[in-house]
Amino acid sequence: MGNKSRTRLRIATLGLAVAAMGPFLSNERLWAESISQTGTTGSTGQPGQNISLSLTNTGQTPNSISATGGNGGGYGNIQTEPNGGNGGTATATDNETYSGTGTLSDQITATGGTGGEGANVITPGTAGTGGAATATSSETDTAGPVNVMVNAQGGTGGASEDAMNGSAGAGGTAVAGGIGQASGNNAVTVNVSATGGSGGNDDGDGYGGAGGTASFNTISGTSGSGTVSVTANLTGGAAGPASGGGVSGASQSLSNGISGSTSGALSLTQNVSGGAGGQAPGAGNGGSGFSSLTVSPSCASLTLNVTGAGGSGGAGAGADGSGAQGTAIASGTNSGGSANVTAVANGGGVNSDGFTSNGGSGGSASSSATAQSSSGGAAVSSTSTATASGGSNGQESPGNGGSASAGATGLGLGQTISQATATAGDAGATNDGGTLGSAGTSLAQAQARGSSGSATATAIAGGTNSGESITSAASGPTAGSNTNVESYSAVAQPISSQPGASGYHSLAINTGLPSNSDAKAAMAGSPNVQQDFDLGDTGVHGPASTVLGLITLGGGSDGDGIQHTWTSSTTVNFSLSNLSSQDLILGLLAPTSTGNGFDSLTFEVTENGSMVLQNVTFNTLSGSTGANTYFTDNAIDLGSISGLQSLQFSLSVTTTAPGDSYDPSLIYGDATINADETPEPNSAALALGLGAAAFLRRRRRARLR
């Protein structure tokens, strides 16, 4: 039999004192109830002992239950007794109803037993699976606060001594649930976790065990007007390592897994994570993590936090596993007060040792946060963060970086702030640096509507391996109308991957290191700029050029007739080592404008922290001193490219009239001003003879040294 203990702890130890204070202690709990039991290990090849513990209406607090299944017995003789036993199951349950003024507090834990080791050497045998774990609690206090803590952990799968391409034991499943109920202004806290067991190790030529899955029963918190906080963590089990084949981690998906109700402050947190892939010569991929929660309460304040994380890929000598996608979707509409909504998505990384032949790809990430309040003057905050992971390096082929997208929407009648941040993963590289994978793209979009506030979108892409790290940001204010902003960053991706720019009041788009074909297409209508860049077959006869980026910045009216300033910028940090000794050329291509464009506009460029174009300001659209003259087919030499470490391009557009907008397009790179006017060798006389004509033909230039 398993070891079982039961303890009662007297809070008041002196009977006389209790009697004397009876009138004051009549509603207090005098006892704490705690029970714990661990199952015995199974004999050779036999399952571990199952354990089931429960409490009901003890009238005492705090209560604690801990149930642990016994471990499965390992194999015996590898010919006649090759199997391992399954881990024992564990069940822990508590249901309490009480009417006291103290806090009703319970801690419920269930842990499945570990599977027994199997042998797959001479006679085919199987390793034991991890034991399943179930933990639930339902607590009601009609006169005091409630605190519920529940944890279920699936057992680890049994290891396998393997010479016949078998597999280790799978991790055990986990199920958890928690309900807390209070009345009046008493607080309720519910914290529930369920984690699938890890797969067992394979010690031979087979496969690691699969990770166990996790799931929830009902999870909720309820109070009349007290603070309610509900937190739930759902985690898939990691796959076991192996010397043969890799196994993927357990994927997890949860939609609307928790709830809460109160007229006071309500806080809901739902976290979902996929399991890690198993280490192996050909490693396993991570499991995906998807988390979605939509609520529409009427309470004094709503705080909603949702996280979705992909599992990491395993390390492999032949090939690393890839990280999995993380997805988080959070939507909260509060008709009674403020709304603060946060969605965080993380793509799984790659657990690489750096010596694999083929790198794994980083996981992508997608997040969406929507916060709404119809209560007059209530604050609204929407924060969406998506972070993808980079690919791992490889001896022969590298992994790709994951892409990221983040969307944030805030709609209210008071101050409203929306923030979206997307960070893409960098490309992997071969260890000699000769070959790169693809870096991920990042897209951030934010919308805000309120009496005051702002919307900000930030997109980050690239990294050291890619040669450029780009951060693009767009922002604008809100004063009663919808404000929409967008940013996008990418390195060495086709221009066709860029998002549409229409419908946004501020935007910042930057594709670093575009292909020559995309660069030539962008310059097709700008002959003055095109003649500075020798891209191989454009008819320009100068030193070979490298286009470092194509940019669109812009701002435009939100239609409310109020003067606003829209800001956009893109910052590039360089880690390139193959630039020539030419100049940094900025080409202003062709702007897009509507209405009268703007009230005023300011453009600036910073190089290595120093301003090289400062306070370039315009108050008119047309004419010799207008913005169109400056931003159309104009090449600017920003000096020698030697020592280039960083660049920042910034645009500020102020508008009032509905329908006004202005979006300049830029190209920048390692090139030579007037490259196509450089005389051919042995043609000095021809150059002298045509000097005057060449001077008259010379295009408009601004040269900064």
b/e 557-582 (16+ beta carbons within 10 angstroms → b): bbeeeeebbbbbbbbbbbeeeebeeb
Per-residue tokens: 261: 């109700």
- Please report whether residue 109 resides in a domain: yes
Same domain, 478 and 591: no
Is residue 290 in a domain? Answer: yes
272 DSSP β-pair partners: 234, 308
Residues 545 and 494 in one domain: no
Instruction: Decide if 163 is inside a domain.
Output: no
Which value, in Å, is the radius of gyration of the alpha carbons in the chain? 32
Q: Which of 493, 508, 446, 448 minimizes the C-alpha distance to 665?
A: 508
> How far is the C-alpha of 304 from the C-alpha of 296, rounded, in Å?
11
Whole-number pLDDT of residue 18: 29
Q: What is the domain count for the chain?
A: 3
Residue 360 confidence (pLDDT): 93
Distance of CA 652 to CAs 40, 526, 630, 657, 691, Å? 71, 24, 15, 16, 41
Residues lower than pLDDT 70 in the chain: 1-32, 433, 538, 676-705
Q: Could you tell me if residue 115 is inside a domain?
A: yes
CA dist 75 and 154 (Å) reads 21
Which residue, 448, 434, 366, is CA-closest to 577?
A: 434
Beta strand extents in 526-599 (DSSP E only): 546-556, 564-574, 583-588, 592-594
Go through the chain and tell me how many residues it has: 705
**What is the residue range of 109's domain?**
1-144
Q: Is residue 135 part of a domain?
A: yes
Residue that finishes a domain, picked among 90, 118, 144: 144
Cα separation, 564 vs 658, whole angstroms: 11
CA–CA distance, 404 with 424 (Å, rounded to integer): 5
Quick: pLDDT tens for 111-150: 999 999 999 888 889 999 999 999 999 999 999 999 999 9
Question: Which of 458, 484, 513 is where one domain is finished?
Answer: 513
Among 103, 127, 144, the domain-final residue is 144
509 and 470 share a domain? yes
Place of tokens 């694999």: 356
Establish if 260 belongs to a structural domain. Answer: no
Q: What CATH number is attached to the domain comprising 686?
A: 2.60.120
Q: Which residues contact 695 (CB under 8 A, 6 or more apart)?
A: none
Instruction: Output the six-digit token pair for 172.
Output: 């055990």
Torsion angles phi and psi, residue 511, rounded to 5 = -110, 110
Q: What is the DSSP letter of 694?
A: H
3-state secondary structure 15-42: HHHHHHCHHHHCCCCCEEEEEEEECCCC
303 and 447 inside one domain: yes
Q: How far, in Å, CA of 263 to CA of 182, rounded?
A: 12
Domain assignment present for residue 457? The answer is yes
State the Cα–Cα distance between residues 92 and 469, nearest whole angstrom. Answer: 51
Inter-residue contact 62 to 55 (CB < 8 Å): no
The answer to whether residues 33 and 134 belong to one domain is yes
Q: Are strands 380-387 and 415-423 parallel, antiparallel or unpaired?
A: parallel
487 and 536 fall within a common domain: no
Closest CA to 656 of 698, 705, 615, 600: 600
- Residue in 127, 275, 251, 287 with CA at minimum distance from that of residue 201: 127
pLDDT digits (tens, 9 = 90+) for 301-316: 999 999 999 999 999 9
Same domain, 674 and 615: yes
- The reply to whether 571 and 476 lie within a common domain is no
Q: Tell me whether residue 550 is in a domain.
A: yes
Do 416 and 541 sit in the same domain of this protein? Answer: no
> 464 and 574, same structural domain?
no
Examine the domain organization and report whether 438 and 323 are in the same domain. Answer: yes
The whole-number pLDDT of residue 209 equals 96
Q: What is the pLDDT of residue 11?
A: 31
Q: Are 452 and 478 in contact (CB under 8 A)?
A: yes
pTM: 0.91
- Are 587 and 686 found together in one domain? yes
Q: Which of 252, 251, 249 is nearest to 277 (CA)?
A: 249
